[in-house]
Amino acid sequence: MNSRSAARGFLAFLLSLPALQGEVGYAVGCTSKTVCALKESTVDIICTYNFPKKDKELNVTQLWHKGKKHKAVSLTKDADYEGRVEYSCGEISCIENSCNGTCALKIKNLTQSDSAEYMFSFIINRKSGKFSGDPGVKLSVTDQVMVSFASSTDPTRANMTCHSMCSPTGGFKYNWFRNGQCVEQGIYYKGNISSKDNYSCAVEGYKRLHSPLVYVPKTPSVTVSPSGEIVNGSSVTLSCSSDANPAADYTWFKEHEDSVGRSGQNYTITNITSELGGNYCCQAHNAIGRHNSTCFYIHVTETSSLTSFIVRIVVVSILVLATILLVFLFHRTTRASREASGLGEAAEMVGEVEGEVRDRNADF
């Protein structure tokens, strides 16, 4: 294809865009409707524009602005962009009855507040001579860098991928860090994983844009509810927790047995029996490793200590009452015996006195 045919094809593309402000032959087309860029980086947004050749001799001004065309204020006059924006507009060329040009907007040292819709307008020095591309180009600025994981059957090795939210499948160069020290370059990290280390990645040249740290679960802790004595027939819940990123999943085990077949942070045993007692452990695991807890021993008693205490109190109370009753009866019986013995002695004394009286009467 010769240059003339190519130019005609490009012109046909521009003329296929919607006419601006209802006039035929005026158009703006941009290379992309959405652009994503990293915080602190530089972005270029490029648009082309077309107008009739009859306007070539008039003064044509290019303008980049933020938001809709009726609020058009050049970014070069916006204090938020001072020293950070540049226009780069090429020569206007004309073919047959149409002219076209290209204009690029460069924004440096991007901030997240730069996320907005940017529009290109060209102004021709005549009445109603302002034409804008609508909609404009939506720019998204992100500082998010993430680590994703491929499935692995080896708990000591990891297969990790670094990507930014702007480029899920690559497009940047990345550095990998272990405990804050750069250890590898590239989009992938494949290697042995230590439970004592943490890992992260960053876009090369943007070290401050780190992904969150990822690491193997720390040693899990196990708690039980309710705490204290566990009685036969009651319900008990075991809970497992571990510091991990990505977040850990949990599997429960009973010592010297296979998995109890339960997954999840909590494990509840209803209607527990002494046979279900024993040492219970949990395993915390995520995409890059796993760690087992120390075991928690569950002792199941037939009755609760409270019940045993109450029974002992009742028995002791009965014994005390029985003792008091026996003492009372003993004292009562003793008193009755003493009173009966006193009456006999009195009767005997009366008999003796009566005998003496009779003897004296007989002497007289």
pLDDT in tens, 49-62: 888 888 776 778 88
Residue in the structure block whose two tokens are 């010769």: 2
Which residues, 6+ apart, have CB-to-CB distance to 132 below 8 Å?
A: 20, 28, 69, 72, 119, 120, 121
Identify the bridge partners of residue 300 per DSSP, sorted by sequence position.
230
Summarize the confidence of residues 182-198 as an average pLDDT.
Answer: 88
Summarize the confidence of residues 223-248 as an average pLDDT.
Answer: 90
Is the dihedral angle over the CA atoms 110, 30, 85, 70 positive or is it negative? Answer: negative
pLDDT of the residue at 169:
57
**Confidence band of 282 (pLDDT split at 50, 70, 90):** very high
pLDDT of the residue at 68:
64
Q: Does residue 214 have a pLDDT over 80?
A: yes
Q: Does residue 154 have a pLDDT over 90?
A: no
pLDDT of the residue at 7:
32
Out of 78-82, 163-167, 256-260, least confident range? 256-260
Identify the bridge partners of residue 61 per DSSP, sorted by sequence position.
123
Query: Residue 216 to residues 14, 155, 233, 244, 283: CA-CA distances in angstroms?
Result: 55, 10, 38, 6, 12
Q: Does residue 176 have a pLDDT over 60?
A: yes
The pLDDT mean for the chain works out to 79
Report the C-alpha gap between 114 and 267 in whole angstroms.
49
3-state secondary structure (DSSP) of residue 343: helix
Q: Does residue 240 have a pLDDT over 60?
A: yes
Summarize the confidence of residues 169-177 as an average pLDDT.
Answer: 79
Q: Does residue 177 have a pLDDT over 90?
A: yes
Q: Which two tokens stand for residue 234?
A: 């009651």
3-state secondary structure (DSSP) of residue 282: strand
pLDDT in tens, 26-52: 888 888 888 888 888 899 999 998 888
Summarize the confidence of residues 113-133 as an average pLDDT.
Answer: 80
Residue in the structure block whose two tokens are 């009966």: 340
Residue in the structure block whose two tokens are 């012109």: 11
Higher pLDDT, 261 or 85: 85
**Confidence band of 241 (pLDDT split at 50, 70, 90):** very high
**Confidence band of 8 (pLDDT split at 50, 70, 90):** very low
pLDDT of the residue at 62:
86
Report the C-alpha gap between 251 and 61 in whole angstroms.
68
Q: DSSP letter at 294? A: P
Summarize the confidence of residues 286-315 as an average pLDDT.
Answer: 76
Q: Which two tokens stand for residue 174?
A: 């990345």
Summarize the confidence of residues 315-327 as an average pLDDT.
Answer: 77
Q: pTM of whole model > 0.85?
A: no
Neighbours of 199 (CB within 10 A): 25
pLDDT of the residue at 23:
63
**Confidence band of 352 (pLDDT split at 50, 70, 90):** low
Which residue, 41, 21, 18, 43, is CA-closest to 32? 43
Higher pLDDT, 309 or 212: 212
Report the C-alpha gap between 177 and 164 in whole angstroms.
16
Q: Which two tokens stand for residue 57?
A: 């001799």
Residue 66 CA, chain-centre distance (Å), reads 36
Which residue, 111, 128, 105, is CA-closest to 26? 128
**152 with 159: CB under 8 angstroms?**
yes
Q: Does residue 311 have a pLDDT over 60?
A: no
Report the C-alpha gap between 264 and 24 in whole angstroms.
65
pLDDT of the residue at 247:
94
Higher pLDDT, 215 or 353: 215
Q: Which residues of 148-178 are buried (b: 16+ CB within 10 A; e: fewer)?
A: eeeebeeeeebbbbbbbebeeeeebebbbbb
Summarize the confidence of residues 70-77 as an average pLDDT.
Answer: 77
Summarize the confidence of residues 91-104 as an average pLDDT.
Answer: 89
Identify the bridge partners of residue 235 per DSSP, sorted by sequence position.
none
pLDDT of the residue at 16:
33
Summarize the confidence of residues 329-349 as an average pLDDT.
Answer: 65
pLDDT of the residue at 12:
31
Higher pLDDT, 171 or 80: 80
Higher pLDDT, 162 or 340: 162
pLDDT of the residue at 213:
94
Q: Does residue 74 have a pLDDT over 70?
A: yes
